[in-house]
Amino acid sequence: MKHGAWRVLPIVVFAIALVGALAFNVALVSRSRNALASTILRNPSTIHSARFHVIAILPDTVDPFFMHLKEGLSEEAEEQDAALQIFYFSPTGAADSGGISGEVLRWFEIALRSKTDGIILFKTAGLDVERLMEAAESAQIPFVPLAMDVSQEWINIGVTGDSASQGREASALALGMLGAAARIGIILSSDTSLGYAFYEEPFYRGVEETLKSKQGAAIVAAEREEESILGGEDACARMLAEHPDINAILCIDAKATIGAAQVVIDRGMVGQIVIIGADENSEVNRLIEKGVVQASIVRDAVAMGKAGVALAIGQRIGIRAPERISVGYRVIPALGGGL
């Protein structure tokens, strides 16, 4: 019996130690929880609530211009203490009889019902902005339209680019490389929503205006890019097929720039044709570094986004009236010089 008792004793001791350890751990966890709770009560976390709420309605596209536009919207929203909500619509969506796509109308009505502090809308082809402006005004909500250029219908409100200046800069760069020998082809946007006829396009007029100062230089051809991803390539190929004397191609946007560059590469004409592109992304930058594109005129989409938010909030708090703001551009120069 004594031997049996001695054999049981270590088991009993181990059990007591285990129970003690468990009790100690429970007490330790309890104290930790109490300490954590008291810390939270002494230093409660705060959740920031934005002062304003702004809704932006933008086309769903991978165009680098709109990526930079969103950067500007976000940066200024943070600066203005505004919560930014972005809704996207298909830029090629069907419009109703009033000239507004179902997607845009749905997002716009949500914005009105939410009593947001401002609505920012980018105008694309076929979009009747005037109808939406009237509805926003009736609801007493600031409305800021954005567009690549000034519309013929609304000239005193919104934030726009300046394609005429872009055209002047592009042609000046081409003339600097080619002089009076310049034979220029122009690739225009597929978007005709601003109501301009082909030769009334601001970009075209800007090029035309600059060429007047250089006798001998001329616009040989102009084409609109198509809406497809290869729209820039197709436009460039048509121009070169019909006008093989073209030695400079001026592009309205990144798609046209990349498309024109691809055609020039495919035809083995790198170094024979000057390409003045537009906007900036990794592909455009690569083409400049390789010497395929001589320069790119980057439209200031960030400034457009910032100006749009600032104008909407300014109207909401009563320190600004509706106005039109034009944003500029910057030039990414060629790394390897001219022809």
- Band (pLDDT 50/70/90 cuts) for residue 124 is confident
Closest CA relative to residue 67, chosen from 298, 295, 311, 325 = 298
At 48, list the tokens: 């920031």
The class that CATH gives domain 163-299 is alpha beta
At 230, list the tokens: 């290869």
pLDDT digits (tens, 9 = 90+) for 298-313: 999 999 999 999 999 9
**Contact criterion met (CB below 8 Å) for 104 and 57:** yes
CA angle 179, 180, 181 (to 5 degrees): 90
pLDDT digits (tens, 9 = 90+) for 320-335: 999 999 999 999 984 4
Average pLDDT, the chain: 85
- Band (pLDDT 50/70/90 cuts) for residue 157 is confident
Can you spell out the DSSP letters for 35-73? HHHHHHHHS-------SEEEEEEEE----HHHHHHHHHH
The pLDDT of residue 170: 97
The class that CATH gives domain 52-161+301-327 is alpha beta
The pLDDT of residue 4: 54
Query: Mean pLDDT over residues 11-32, rounded?
Result: 51
The pLDDT of residue 156: 77
Can you spell out the DSSP letters for 183-230? EEEEEE-S--TT---GGG-HHHHHHHHHHTTSTT-EEEEEEEPPSSTT
Which phi and psi angles does 101 have, rounded to 5°?
-70, 155
- Each domain of the chain, given as residue ranges in start order, spans 52-161+301-327, 163-299
pLDDT digits (tens, 9 = 90+) for 32-53: 334 333 433 444 455 568 999 9
Do 52-161+301-327 and 163-299 come out as alike in CATH topology?
yes
Whole-prediction pTM = 0.78
- CA torsion sign, 302 to 303 to 309 to 312? negative
